[in-house]
């Protein structure tokens, strides 16, 4: 299985994502100006501050040539994982529903916390962001829940940003595009605190299979 | 021969310095030359009041790869890799505009490190503000923390540690010191010396604007005072996105071997980077300001030469490689322009188009500034005043809770949660999980530990002993993670050196720094001096901030600072001789005065070695050094982090001569609180290392017997007191 990690100017976590992908397959970086993904099986849109996030998080990155190719990849039902800034980019690109707003207390937060997946299993993964408050209209949230598109929630009492209904990560209707604010690529080695993040990558690998 | 104009005085030069410049130029300087001299001859660039003292510091060692004089220091970590690091101040800009001041402080120190060819992997900060009940202190704290986070988080370098103290002498003049650590392949590292006559000088990164003009001279090399609002335009504005692109661009250029040398543009902008590169290489440089990409078209040559616009780097490139360099800058969407050439003239020549607008000997600019001797005088007594916030009749329980809740002692979670501490996948020990940050270095198959420390109050009590303490405190922090010191960087934050008391403090502190480094065998590989830190009330506490980097074999084999298991034995290791002098308790009681016990450096060093060996061998379940607030606070911190209480008896300290109160709350060097199997702890004892069994981990309360009384606080109460910082800062939150 070959993973491609998109690299924008201002990406921060692309090497960490590359390393995490290499633990569950082969992986390479894809420069944002490439409009051909080179036959990768799965794409990671990584964390960071693409283009400085100056206009609005993810608002400029979505127009890059690589993102056109990512949209085609997603439309073909192949796996796309957006982490943090990548989640923001996927929402800006309308590949995922909803939007990420500034954290409720208007401060950046970096904290190890527990996520619950749809099966109720707990994952210990760090979150670190200033604009991670998940927002969607109530009707959309109802629909996401009914369709099983809420992939991850913050464990009770651990919502760090004021996300509606504790939503930490969502998928598209088809389930092949996943975005989440916490950073699974920073939870792949017990030395740095946890290996639970590997389960997120394995889940995407299962979509590709 | 001084002319009637006072222009040179406005720029911070004395009349005799001006006369000397005229002599060296054999004529009066024009506007461009005067501007350039005023900056390079400022305290900030020329170290004219500190350079003689700094000669005392030991700078050599077998692991030193680069020492003072380069953009940053670097030490060998094995397998062909080096760790580069440096700490630098951005105090006055932060006192005027805390968000941008702190942000650009981080940006500047990052550039110093990647200028060597090292990828920055960690940031630490040492911050000082007035007391937290001051609105100004809270404003400065909030801005500085947001600024550090903004820059570090956006550029993707982990902020892994630091310290914050709140003391009234910093009320007007806060301190913002930032340290960066980077990792480099030694063969790809470059020095800052320009070389190769005929080589091109290429300016990379952001365009040049009118920001930060006079930052190094007017702002950094003079006391703050009334009218500082007007100095706001001298503060630079940071753009971490631009820096992120320049960083990746420079690392790619160095990886491909396309640069002869590289230097960042910091204080004094093009003036200092070009002159210092020329000086280091023994060459001359011609620069054409007409080729510098500008933000505003009508900038004067002197403005272009002294602008402190951020996110700019200056590289020396062989002519045949210029095209490739410009193409890589283009790829990273960052600016680049060939603005000059290396010459054999020994002159810095500034041109506009074909016209020479300034010409000065490199030697006169960089090394010509007179160096001054200090005129030190010891103060008659304690000059900083006292403020009582804890009643002398407070019970031991009340005292412990007051110490835990004192903003300088309390948990700094409020601040460090605003920093990304995990990006880069190296952070094996995050803030407050161990006494030092631990970063894996998979490139060399080992790890480093990093600590930053400097308790200004204790240095004020005795600048010599207090500075030794700052160095050894770092060594103790490193020992708790199993790390052996490799090198040290420092930032000397002091008051006006032209006044006798700050001069005495500086002189004594530098001697303490030199002696401590000599005794520990740790070289000083770089640093920075920040003088004129004064407000209307007088000088700040003398604050030498020490950053230390050590090496450990395995990032997984470090000890946490918190207890690990119920039932483990707790011991005190080392030559800890607690005293109330200069302590946090003396401060709360308003009993500060001159004087500290003189540290036994050899005994502390031996204890560090024993702790380090035990941590590496895995025999300690936890290790935490005794610092601010004394032993009772250290024990309580280890308990809070673990969720277990502890039951201990401090009678071994009373046997050594401490009073019950000194045993609980006295401070001093050389104490480690460790936990683990009793037999393993007892085996640490040696001829030179004292080990005293104190008690056991367990239950949900902290019970500390000292003399006839037992201090008992519940874990919940202790945790509430220790977590009080966020409530004090954001009452509504």
Domain-embedded: residue B622: yes
- Helix, strand or coil, per DSSP, at residue B20: helix
Length of chain A: 209
pLDDT for the residue numbered B225: 67
Helix spans in B167-316 (H): 240-255, 269-281, 301-306
Residue B695 confidence class, pLDDT cut points 50, 70, 90:
very high
Nearest partner of B376 among B477, B503, B554, judged by Cα = B503
- Helix, strand or coil, per DSSP, at residue B181: strand
Sign, Cα dihedral of B408, B411, B414, B416: positive
Q: Give the CA angle between residues B248, B252, B257 to the nearest 5°.
A: 150
Cα–Cα distance for residue pair B105/B102, rounded to 1 Å: 5
What distance in Å separates residue A192's CA from the closest CA in chain B? 5
Cα–Cα distance for residue pair B632/B263, rounded to 1 Å: 48
Q: Which residue of B has its CA nearest to A52?
A: B241
Q: Are B200 and B341 in contact (CB under 8 A)?
A: yes
For chain A, how far is it from start to end, CA to CA, in angstroms? 9
Average pLDDT over residues A6-11: 94
- Helix, strand or coil, per DSSP, at residue B237: coil
Q: Are B552 and B482 in contact (CB under 8 A)?
A: yes
Nearest partner of B169 among B129, B207, B142, judged by Cα = B129
C-alpha to C-alpha distances, B672 to B239, B429, B658, nearest whole angstrom = 42, 18, 17
Task: Catalytic residue, from A32, A73, A129, A183: name it.
Answer: A183
Identify the contact set of chain B against chain A, taking CB-CB distances under 8 A.
Answer: 146, 149-150, 153-156, 239-242, 244-245, 248, 332-333, 416-428, 430, 440, 555-556, 733
Q: Are A108 and B423 in contact (CB under 8 A)?
A: no
Boundaries of domain holding B646: 560-733
pLDDT for the residue numbered B733: 41
Cα–Cα distance for residue pair A79/B604, rounded to 1 Å: 57
Cα–Cα distance for residue pair B506/B375, rounded to 1 Å: 11
Which of the listed residues B335, B353, B369 is the one where a domain comes to its end?
B369
Q: pLDDT digits over B583-606, tens only?
A: 999 999 999 999 999 999 999 999
Domain-embedded: residue B319: yes
Domain-embedded: residue B311: yes
| Paired sense of beta strands B335-343 and B709-714, if any | unpaired
What distance in Å separates residue B440's CA from the closest CA in chain A? 9
pLDDT for the residue numbered B391: 93
The interface pTM score, or ipTM, of the predicted complex is 0.96
Cα–Cα distance for residue pair B733/B723, rounded to 1 Å: 13
Which residues in chain B are contacts of A128 at CB distance < 8 A? 153, 420, 422-423
Domain-embedded: residue B441: no
User: Is residue A57 over pLDDT 90?
Assistant: no
Domain-embedded: residue B496: no
Q: Which residue of B has its CA nearest to A51?
A: B241
What distance in Å separates residue B234's CA from the closest CA in chain A? 24
pLDDT for the residue numbered B229: 59
Average pLDDT over residues B483-502: 97
Residues 6+ apart with CB under 8 A from B133: none
Which position has the higher pLDDT, A208 or A111? A111
Which residues in chain B are contacts of A189 at CB distance < 8 A? 425
Domain-embedded: residue B120: no
pLDDT for the residue numbered B232: 57
Which of the listed residues B369, B385, B416 is the one where a domain comes to its end?
B369
Q: Are B285 and B201 in contact (CB under 8 A)?
A: yes
| Paired sense of beta strands B158-166 and B119-129, if any | parallel
pLDDT for the residue numbered B216: 59
User: Which residue is associated with the tokens 């004094």?
Assistant: B268
Which of the listed residues B325, B346, B369 is the one where a domain comes to its end?
B369
Cα–Cα distance for residue pair B634/B701, rounded to 1 Å: 15
pLDDT for the residue numbered B223: 72
Which residues in chain B are contacts of A186 at CB distance < 8 A? 422-423, 425
Q: Which residue of B has its CA nearest to A109?
A: B418
Cα–Cα distance for residue pair B258/B321, rounded to 1 Å: 6
Domain residue spans of chain A: 2-208
Cα–Cα distance for residue pair B619/B599, rounded to 1 Å: 28
What distance in Å separates residue A112's CA from the closest CA in chain B? 10
User: Which residue is associated with the tokens 């039932």?
Assistant: B567
Q: pLDDT digits over B713-726, tens only?
A: 999 999 999 999 98
Q: Does the active-site annotation cover A185?
A: yes
For residue B189, the surrounding DSSP H or E stretch is none
Nearest partner of B388 among B131, B579, B630, judged by Cα = B131
- Across-strand partners of B686? B689
User: Which residue is associated with the tokens 């998080």?
Assistant: A57
Average pLDDT over residues B326-352: 96
Q: What is the largest CA-CA distance in chain B?
A: 86
Q: Are B173 and B128 in contact (CB under 8 A)?
A: no
For chain B, how far is it from start to end, CA to CA, in angstroms? 63
Q: Are A81 and A182 in contact (CB under 8 A)?
A: no
State whether B421 and A110 contact (CB < 8 Å): yes
Q: Where are the beta strands (DSSP E) in chain A?
A: 2-7, 26-31, 42-45, 80-83, 99-101, 109-117, 122-129, 133-135, 150-154, 167-171, 177-180
Residues B382-391, buried b or exposed e (16+ Cβ, 10 A)? eebeeeeebe
C-alpha to C-alpha distances, B660 to B176, B511, B578, nearest whole angstrom = 37, 34, 10
Task: Choose, out of A108, A113, A158, the residue to mutate when testing the contact with B (most B CBs < 10 Å).
Answer: A108
Q: Where are the beta strands (DSSP E) in B497-595?
A: 524-530, 534-535, 538-539, 543-552, 569-573
Instruction: State how many domains chain B has.
Output: 2
Cα–Cα distance for residue pair B597/B595, rounded to 1 Å: 7
Task: Choose, out of A12, A57, A64, A103, the residue to mutate when testing the contact with B (most B CBs < 10 Å).
Answer: A12
User: Which residue is associated with the tokens 């540290």?
Assistant: B599
Q: pLDDT digits over B10-48, tens only?
A: 888 999 999 999 999 999 999 999 999 999 998 888 899
Which position has the higher pLDDT, B282 or B232? B282
B625 burial type by CB count under 10 A (0-12 exposed, 13-18 middle, 19+ buried): buried
Cα–Cα distance for residue pair B33/B361, rounded to 1 Å: 11
CATH of domain A2-208: 3.40.50.880
User: Is residue B1 over pLDDT 50?
Assistant: no
- Across-strand partners of B573? B672, B691
DSSP string, B673-697: EEEE-HHHHHTT-BTTB-EEEEEEE
Q: pLDDT digits over A170-191, tens only?
A: 999 999 999 999 999 999 999 9
CATH number of the domain at B257, please: 3.90.650.10
Query: What average pLDDT does chain B have?
Result: 94
Q: Are B460 and B466 in contact (CB under 8 A)?
A: yes
User: Is residue A74 over pLDDT 90?
Assistant: yes
pLDDT for the residue numbered B210: 86
State whether A10 and B154 contact (CB < 8 Å): yes
Structure tokens at B542: 């003398």
Average pLDDT over residues A5-14: 95
pLDDT for the residue numbered A152: 98
Which DSSP category does A48 fall into? B
User: Is residue B479 over pLDDT 70?
Assistant: yes
Q: pLDDT digits over B612-626, tens only?
A: 999 999 999 999 999
Nearest partner of B112 among B47, B185, B179, B55, judged by Cα = B179
Q: Give the CA angle between residues B576, B581, B587 to the nearest 5°.
A: 120
Which residues in chain B are contacts of A47 at CB distance < 8 A? 423
C-alpha to C-alpha distances, A42 to A74, A81, B305, B661, B722, nearest whole angstrom = 9, 8, 50, 64, 46
User: Is residue B2 over pLDDT 60?
Assistant: no
Q: What is the pTM of this model?
A: 0.95
pLDDT for the residue numbered B219: 63
What distance in Å separates residue B683's CA from the closest CA in chain A? 28
Strand order in the sheet with B347-352: B261-264, B312-317, B200-205, B335-343, B284-288, B347-352, B355-361
* Whole-number percent of chain B with pLDDT over 90: 88
C-alpha to C-alpha distances, A11 to A3, A80, A134, B323, nearest whole angstrom = 17, 17, 21, 26
pLDDT for the residue numbered B4: 47
Structure tokens at B588: 């709360």
Sign, Cα dihedral of B131, B136, B142, B143: negative
State whether B423 and A19 contact (CB < 8 Å): no
Cα–Cα distance for residue pair B669/B575, rounded to 1 Å: 8
Q: pLDDT digits over B204-257, tens only?
A: 999 999 887 766 555 666 676 666 656 656 678 889 999 999 999 999 999 999
Pick from A10, A15, A128: CB nearest B420: A128
Structure tokens at B132: 């937290």
For residue B66, the surrounding DSSP H or E stretch is strand B64-66
- Tell me the count of A-B CB pairs closer than 8 A: 90
Residues 6+ apart with CB under 8 A from B538: B169, B383, B384, B495
State whether A110 and B422 contact (CB < 8 Å): yes
Cα–Cα distance for residue pair B385/B287, rounded to 1 Å: 52
State whether B428 and A130 contact (CB < 8 Å): no
User: Is residue B536 over pLDDT 60?
Assistant: yes
Which residues in chain A are contacts of B417 at CB distance < 8 A? 109-111
How far, rounded to the nearest angstrom, does the alpha carbon of residue B397 sit from its chain's CA centroid? Answer: 35
């Amino acid at each position: 299985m070959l993973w491609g990690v998109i690299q924008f100017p201002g990406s921060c976590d692309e090497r960490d994502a590359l390393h995490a992908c290499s633990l569950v397959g082969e992986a390479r970086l894809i420069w944002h100006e490439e409009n051909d993904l080179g036959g990768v099986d799965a794409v990671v849109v990584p964390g960071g501050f693409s283009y400085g996030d100056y206009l609005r998080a993810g608002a400029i990155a979505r127009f890059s040539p690589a993102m056109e190719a990512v949209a085609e990849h997603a439309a073909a039902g192949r796996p796309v994982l957006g982490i943090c800034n990548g989640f923001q980019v996927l929402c800006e690109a309308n590949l995922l529903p909803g939007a990420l707003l500034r954290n409720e207390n208007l401060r950046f937060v970096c904290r190890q916390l527990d996520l619950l997946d749809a099966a109720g299993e707990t994952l210990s993964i760090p979150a670190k962001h200033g604009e991670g408050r998940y927002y969607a209209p109530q009707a959309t949230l109802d629909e996401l829940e009914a369709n099983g598109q809420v992939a991850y929630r913050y464990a009770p009492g651990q919502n760090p940003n004021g996300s509606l209904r504790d939503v930490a990560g969502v998928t598209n209707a088809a389930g092949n595009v996943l975005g989440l604010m916490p950073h699974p690529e920073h939870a792949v080695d017990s030395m740095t605190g946890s290996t639970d993040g590997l389960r997120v990558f394995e889940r995407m690998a299962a979509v590709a299979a | 021969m001084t002319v009637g104009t006072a222009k040179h005085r406005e720029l911070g030069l004395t009349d005799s310095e001006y006369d000397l410049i005229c002599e060296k130029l054999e004529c009066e300087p024009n506007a461009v030359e005067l501007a350039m001299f005023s900056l390079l001859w400022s305290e900030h660039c020329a170290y004219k009041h500190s350079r003689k003292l700094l000669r005392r510091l030991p700078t050599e060692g077998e692991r030193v790869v680069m020492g003072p004089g380069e953009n940053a220091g670097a030490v060998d970590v094995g397998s062909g890799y080096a760790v580069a690091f440096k700490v630098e101040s951005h105090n006055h800009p932060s006192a005027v505009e805390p968000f941008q001041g702190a942000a650009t402080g981080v940006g500047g120190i990052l550039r110093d490190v990647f200028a060597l060819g090292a990828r920055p992997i960690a940031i630490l900060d040492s911050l000082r503000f007035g007391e937290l009940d001051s609105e100004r202190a809270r404003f400065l704290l909030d801005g500085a923390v947001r600024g550090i986070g903004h820059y570090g988080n956006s550029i993707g370098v982990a902020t892994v540690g630091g310290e914050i103290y709140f003391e009234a002498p910093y009320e007007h003049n806060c301190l913002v010191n930032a340290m960066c650590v980077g990792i480099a392949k030694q063969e790809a590292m470059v020095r800052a010396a320009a070389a190769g006559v005929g080589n091109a000088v290429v300016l990379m990164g952001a365009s040049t604007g009118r920001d930060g003009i006079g930052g190094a001279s007017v702002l950094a090399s003079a006391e703050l005072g009334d009218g500082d609002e007007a100095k706001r335009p001298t503060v630079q504005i940071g753009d971490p996105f631009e820096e992120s692109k320049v960083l990746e661009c420079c690392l790619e250029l160095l990886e491909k071997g396309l640069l002869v040398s590289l230097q960042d543009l910091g204080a004094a902008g093009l003036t200092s980077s070009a002159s210092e590169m020329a000086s280091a290489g023994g060459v001359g440089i011609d620069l054409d300001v007409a080729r510098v990409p500008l933000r505003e078209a009508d900038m004067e040559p002197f403005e272009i030469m002294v602008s402190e616009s951020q996110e700019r780097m200056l590289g020396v490139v062989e002519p045949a490689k210029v095209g490739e360099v410009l193409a890589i800058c283009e790829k990273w969407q960052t600016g680049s322009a060939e603005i000059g050439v290396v010459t054999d003239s020994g002159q810095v020549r500034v041109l506009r188009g074909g016209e020479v607008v300034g010409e000065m000997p490199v030697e006169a600019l960089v090394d010509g500034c007179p160096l001054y001797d200090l005129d030190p005088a010891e103060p008659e007594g304690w000059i900083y005043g006292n403020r009582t916030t804890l009643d002398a009749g407070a019970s031991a329980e009340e005292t412990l809770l007051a110490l835990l809740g004192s903003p300088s002692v309390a948990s700094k979670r409020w601040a460090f949660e605003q920093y990304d501490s995990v990006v880069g996948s190296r952070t094996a020990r995050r803030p407050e999980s161990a006494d030092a940050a631990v970063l894996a270095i998979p490139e060399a198959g080992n790890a480093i530990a990093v600590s930053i420390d400097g308790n200004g109050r204790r240095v004020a009590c005795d600048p010599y002993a207090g500075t030794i303490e700052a160095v050894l405190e770092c060594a103790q922090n490193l020992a708790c993670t199993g790390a052996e010191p490799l090198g040290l960087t420092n930032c000397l934050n002091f008051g006006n050196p032209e006044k006798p008391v700050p001069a005495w403090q500086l002189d004594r502190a530098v001697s303490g720094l030199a002696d401590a480094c000599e005794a520990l065998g740790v070289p000083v590989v770089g640093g920075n001096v920040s003088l004129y830190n004064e407000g209307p009330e007088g000088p700040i506490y003398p604050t030498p901030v020490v950053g230390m980097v050590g090496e450990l074999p395995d990032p997984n084999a470090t000890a946490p600072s918190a207890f690990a298991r119920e039932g483990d034995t707790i011991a005190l290791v080392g030559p800890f001789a607690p005293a109330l002098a200069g302590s946090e308790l003396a401060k709360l009681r308003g009993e500060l005065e001159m004087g500290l016990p003189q540290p036994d450096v050899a005994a502390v060093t031996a204890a560090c070695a024993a702790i380090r060996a035990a941590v590496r061998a895995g025999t300690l379940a936890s290790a935490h050094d005794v610092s601010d607030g004394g032993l009772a606070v250290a024990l309580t911190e280890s308990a809070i982090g673990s969720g277990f209480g502890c039951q201990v008896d401090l009678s071994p300290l009373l046997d050594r001569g401490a009073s019950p109160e000194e045993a609980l709350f006295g401070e001093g060097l050389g104490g480690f609180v460790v936990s683990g199997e009793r037999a393993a702890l007892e085996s640490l004892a040696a001829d030179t290392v004292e080990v005293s069994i104190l008690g056991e981990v367990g239950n949900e309360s902290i019970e500390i017997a000292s003399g006839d009384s037992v201090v008992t606080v519940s874990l919940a109460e202790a945790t509430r007191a220790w977590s009080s910082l966020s409530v004090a800062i954001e009452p509504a939150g």
